[in-house]
Structure 1
Amino acid sequence: MTRKALVLLSAVLLSACSSAPETPPCDCSTPQPPITTTSPDKDQKAIAALFAYLAKEAKKEWGEDEYVESGKHRYVKYLDGYATRAHIDFDAGKIYVSTISQHQPKEKLQKAIVQTLLMPADAKYDDLFSDKNIALKGKPFFLGQVVDQDGKAIEWEWRANRFADHLIDNKLQSKSIKKGTAYYVQIDMVKDHLEQREYQYAHIVRDAAKRYNIPEDLIYAVIKTESSFNPYAVSHAGAYGLMQVIPKTAGADVFNLVKKKPGIPTKEYLFDPANNIDTGAAYLHILKTRYLRDVTNPSSRHFSMISAYNGGTGGVLATFHTDRKRAMMELNRKSPKQVYDALTTQHPKGEARRYLQKVLYFQKDFKEGKI
């Protein structure tokens, strides 16, 4: 795929992210047709094409075995003709900056380390699907999460360059791969890196919780489960940001039912942390007060709402019956424990079964102040 073709593909994706939803949201208080599944829409196909293009270009330099791709809990940015990359593991608290370039590898690493350390807190300024340089704008995302050799936070370019020099002089490693020799450094985040990221968004979470009457610990738990507080998170399903919002489903519902405006959010809108948390919390509100309002027991509704955030309201109801009205009746006949057991063992999607368990586990930890 040529660079021109990539630009055209990106344009298609952006235009798709500004169109109106194809079908209205369901109202589970009225009879609905049997639950069916649909094939991926054009947005997902466009995202898949961008991932495929990125993989093709990066594998030319790194080879099949060494290719690493961005995900929900992992940020990977390729630079310098795809020969240099930054790989951030948010769960492990590790940053790896590597290059396969045999021409001035230390200089390539130096530049990539600085860009990584100073990458902006607002993810909309970065393009994961190209090898363009990271735009260094505003407050660095890693401020407080990484310290230099003197234990100082890294906010300015001179300090980032100084730390990069130290890493290359003292921590540089290399390994042989099929495509040649890879040079790399590993940077450890501070021990409380998760709490540091959590703190960045505390005021946004607090405001969204009040705005939509959703518990703060639930919002935190969803963010931890979805992205480990990675604002750059993107998935093959076309979900973006901290709470992994899909524009044409949750995004469309929030715009139409809460914001009272047409269309759906763009990926740039959802890469903004404040917009993303607001949208995710608003969607939880919709699930609680609209799609699942007929669930009579508050605990059962809470379990259903969490499960629906991942697998959709249809997935929750399909756990109990193929007919939506019958499904709601069956759900309400069960105790909260029976609802939980059903959603974690009988939900049509295995991911959704595990999702409810993870969110509740993290919510308990956030409530008790363990995270």
Structure 2
Amino acid sequence: MLKKTLLFIALVSFAQGETFKEFQQKQMSQESGNKQEFAKYKKSQEDAFEKYKKAQLKAFEDYKKSLGKYWKEPKLSTKKEWVAYTPDKKTRTDVDFEKNTITLETIADSPEDAKQKLKTALARVVTIDNKGVQESDPLEKILDKIKKPSGVIDAQVKNEPILSNIIFDKTPTKNSIKTYVDDHVKNNKITVLNSKIEGFHVYSLNIPMPSDSMQKKAQQYYGDVKYFAAKERLNIPLLFAIMQTESSFNPRARSYIPAFGLMQIVPSSAGMDAYDYLYNERRLVSSSYLYNSTNNIMMGSAYLHLLYFKYLKEIKDPTSRLYCTIAAYNTGAGNIAWAFNKNKNLSRKQKYSMSYAAEDINSLSPGQVYNRLLSDLRFDEPKLYLKNVSKRMIAYDKIYNH
């Protein structure tokens, strides 16, 4: 149909006295113009996102600075810790998903006042859902006021549990919440430290979460993991191992890059590639889009699909390609190529080319590829990442494939 349309346009053009060469030049000019328009649009989007990132970073720094008025060590959420403050900034909860602990801290002028604040904070942190955090957290409210670039894809955060399904065997009642809080907030467990504010102290309490918390969190996301693993022709243990290594199943995970959510998606790189693969459109997604667990698992699965079936497709052995895919999820496909090309007499651009690297990779056994990645990747982080994901895949394989 397209060829017929172009032929018709050409015939009309010739009928109007335009030569074939002139017609070709016009077509080429139009195509060049379209490419320039797309490049201009893409750059404007990237520039807008960089401006948005800077505004977010400034908001983070300003908020952290305001916390410094009360706390000797202001803390904010990370990949594996969800940190939240009350509006007055004098009470904070720190849920460490990797260490499996809840730390409560409050600044108070008496043990009685502190105990009540700690009880309130504990009751809230073990019952609030993800949507509730997004809508009520003081820092999220500040970030939400920053104008997003036009065309950014947004979404609602789901009202799914964060800790309640770990702490309680069934939907908690007022009585079960009160019993849990009373059992854990006791005077003999509370530590008292000096405060920056004269006449006040910092009252601190550490509470271990159930030993099977990691398994419960994994099970919570099993439906989405199973669905997207099948859709993208991936392995269920791979998705779970990536998720645990990235965030320890912290749905509020955020890193400095910034990357968001369970599988730590960076909107301007993996996020844009995944969205383009899924919807045929290069668009940025927001943090709230990625705090939605279904969206996050969908995007992470899509990016793994791209790595395995597109970016690293020249690697023939499936196990070798899997090792490279795992490392690339952390450090990028270009750095995988560099690990195998760095000693070759190539240009800088060629050293990051998979075509050259694939020649070496395909001449090695999977075990040799694994060892080469551990020895020659440029940074220690992706080396440790590959080790952890590979080890955890074995554990998840025993649970879900046997």
| TM-score bucket (shorter structure) | 0.7 to 0.9
Equivalent residue for 2:139? 129
C-alpha displacement at 1:22, in angstroms?
4.5
Contact 2:162 2:251 in 1 (8 A): no
Contact 2:134 2:140 in 1 (8 A): no
Structure 1, 292-301 or 316-325: larger mean CA deviation: 316-325
What SS is found at the alignment partner of 1:319?
Answer: helix
Q: Which gives a bigger RCO, structure 1 or 2 (Cα 8 Å, sep 6+)?
A: 1
C-alpha displacement at 1:118, in angstroms?
1.1
1:281 aligned to which of 301, 321, 334: 301
Structure 1, 266-275 or 48-57: larger mean CA deviation: 48-57
TM-score by length of 2: 0.74
Structure 1, 118-127 or 338-347: larger mean CA deviation: 118-127
Contact 1:20 1:262 in 2 (8 A): no
2:124 aligned to which of 106, 115, 137: 115
Change (3 A) 1:335 1:42: farther
Q: Please, which runs of 5 or more residues in structure 2 have no aligned partner?
A: 1-39, 143-156, 342-347
2:228, 2:331 → 1: CA distance? Answer: 22
- Say yes or no: does 1:155 pair with 2:172: yes
1:265 aligned to which of 281, 285, 289: 285
Change (3 A) 1:264 1:157: farther
What does residue range 1-371 of structure 1 map to in structure 2 within 5 Å?
22=43, 41-42=50-51, 44-63=53-72, 66-102=73-109, 104-122=113-131, 124-125=134-135, 127=137, 129=139, 138-147=159-168, 153=170, 155-157=172-174, 159-169=176-186, 172-179=189-196, 180-321=200-341, 322=348, 323=350, 324=353, 325-369=355-399
1:47, 1:356 → 2: CA distance? Answer: 31
1:130, 1:81 → 2: CA distance? Answer: 15
Equivalent residue for 1:7? none
Contact 2:277 2:302 in 1 (8 A): no
1:95, 1:182 → 2: CA distance? Answer: 16
- Higher Cα Rg, which structure: 2
Change (3 A) 1:369 1:74: same
What SS is found at the alignment partner of 2:399?
Answer: coil
1:22, 1:357 → 2: CA distance? Answer: 37
Contact 1:75 1:87 in 2 (8 A): yes
Give the helix-richer structure, 1 or 2: 2
C-alpha displacement at 1:153, in angstroms?
4.7
Equivalent residue for 1:29? none
The amino acid across from 1:111 in the alignment is T
Change (3 A) 1:364 1:43: farther
C-alpha displacement at 1:289, in angstroms?
1.1
Structure 1, 209-218 or 315-324: larger mean CA deviation: 315-324
C-alpha displacement at 1:352, in angstroms?
1.0
1:335, 1:42 → 2: CA distance? Answer: 46
Change (3 A) 1:21 1:232: farther
Change (3 A) 1:137 1:219: closer
C-alpha displacement at 1:260, in angstroms?
1.8
TM-score by length of 1: 0.80
Contact 2:246 2:264 in 1 (8 A): yes
Contact 1:139 1:155 in 2 (8 A): no
2:215, 2:115 → 1: CA distance? Answer: 32
1:315, 1:126 → 2: CA distance? Answer: 40
Contact 1:243 1:280 in 2 (8 A): yes
Q: Deviations over 1:129-154 (max 9, x none)?
A: 3689xxx994532223114xxxx656
What SS is found at the alignment partner of 1:62?
Answer: coil
What SS is found at the alignment partner of 1:265?
Answer: coil
Change (3 A) 1:23 1:249: farther
What SS is found at the alignment partner of 1:60?
Answer: coil
What SS is found at the alignment partner of 2:94?
Answer: strand
C-alpha displacement at 1:227, in angstroms?
0.5
Contact 2:232 2:305 in 1 (8 A): yes
Change (3 A) 1:317 1:45: farther
2:68, 2:277 → 1: CA distance? Answer: 43
Q: Please, which runs of 5 or more residues in structure 1 have no aligned partner?
A: 1-18, 25-39
The alignment covers a number of residue pairs equal to 329
The amino acid across from 2:180 in the alignment is F
Equivalent residue for 2:12? none
